[in-house]
Amino acid sequence: NKLYSSFIERKAKGLKSFAVLIDPDKVTPTGIADLTAKCTAAKVDYIFLGGSLVITNHLDECVQQIKATCDIPVILFPGSPSQVSKYADALFYLSVISGRNPELLIGQHVVSAAAVKMSGLEVISTGYMVIDGGAPTTVSYISNTYPIPSDKDDIALCTAMAGEMLGMKVIYMDAGSGARKPIPESMIHRVASHVEAPIIVGGGIRDAEKAYLNCKAGADIIVVGNAIEKDPSLIKEIADAVHSIPVKL
């Protein structure tokens, strides 16, 4: 459990982490090399790899290219049960606990369980919470679930607590890729104050200031995809902001 242990160790020290999300559908081999060079220079902590669709069939190659060009751990963030690659370091085994779609709570897990087990990947049980991002996002459409309203901090908290008590190891709060409105700090703070599991926050984060404020509010790992695709110089800016939070003494 190397990666999960790194989450726990970093959280205990108050160290915040920055993850760059790569969508396999949106990158080329040269694009990957450019991106991983920037991630290495910026000291990015993790690379998350996945997308809601994954139209192309080159997940294995994509992971291998990332691994060949940097030492940053790659964690699969699958949008569907087919997105498993043994070349990655770990896999978020996501249960969409914000929704009431049984397929995404347990159905697809049953379908993919044998393949996941045989892959030998480190499996990180993840309570995945979709939060309303101001307009329907791909994740709310594809998952066929209602997101948690962004002003219902207590619903988010109780959902995260339930996930943690069911044994989920991390809580992933996501406004959805390209969300108009990222998750409010008040909701992150409410969840973080009563949940011990590491908290990943993403969706619609476009600048270093929001990443910093989310960390101050209690997020442990900040994930950014869309904004970085548009402006790769943000990788360094956001990484520096996330890493500027002082460690616990």
Cite the annotated binding site for sn-glycerol 1-phosphate by residue number: 172-178, 203-204, 225-226
Classify burial at 68, counting beta carbons within 10 Å of its beta carbon; exposed 0-12, middle 13-18, buried 19 or more: exposed
Alpha-carbon separation of residue 238 from 17, 166, 213, 231, 235 (angstroms) = 10, 33, 11, 11, 5
CA dist., res. 247 & res. 155, Å (int): 30
DSSP letter assigned to residue 18: E
**Smallest separation, CB 79 to ligand 1GP (Å):** 9
**CB neighbour class for 117 (10 Å; exposed up to 12, middle 13-18, buried from 19):** exposed
Nearest residue (CB) to ligand 1GP, 121 versus 235:
235
Q: Does 203 bind ligand 1GP (CB under 6 A)?
A: yes
Q: How far is the CB of 202 from ligand 1GP (least distance, A)?
A: 2
Contact between 187 and ligand 1GP by CB under 6 A: the answer reads no
Q: Which residues of 178-190 are buried (b: 16+ CB within 10 A; e: fewer)?
A: bbeebbbbebbbb
- Known binding positions: 23, 52, 172-178, 203-204, 225-226
184 near ligand 1GP, judged by CB under 6 A: no
- Give the shortest CB-137-to-ligand 1GP separation in angstroms: 8
Should residue 202 be labelled a site residue for ligand 1GP when binding is judged by CB under 6 A? Answer: yes
What is the phi/psi pair of residue 11, to 5°? -65, -40
The residue whose Cβ lies closest to ligand 1GP is 202
Using CB under 6 A, which of 75, 227, 234, 242 touches ligand 1GP?
227
98 within 8 A of 130, measured Cβ to Cβ: yes
d(CA 2, CA 84): 18
Identify residues 57-116 at the interface with ligand 1GP (CB under 6 A). Answer: none
- Candidates 3, 21, 32, 62: give the one binding ligand 1GP (CB under 6 A): 21
Q: Which is nearer to ligand 1GP, 205 or 242 (by Cβ)?
A: 205
Which spans of this chain sit near ligand 1GP (rule: CB under 6 A)?
21, 174, 177-179, 202-205, 223-227
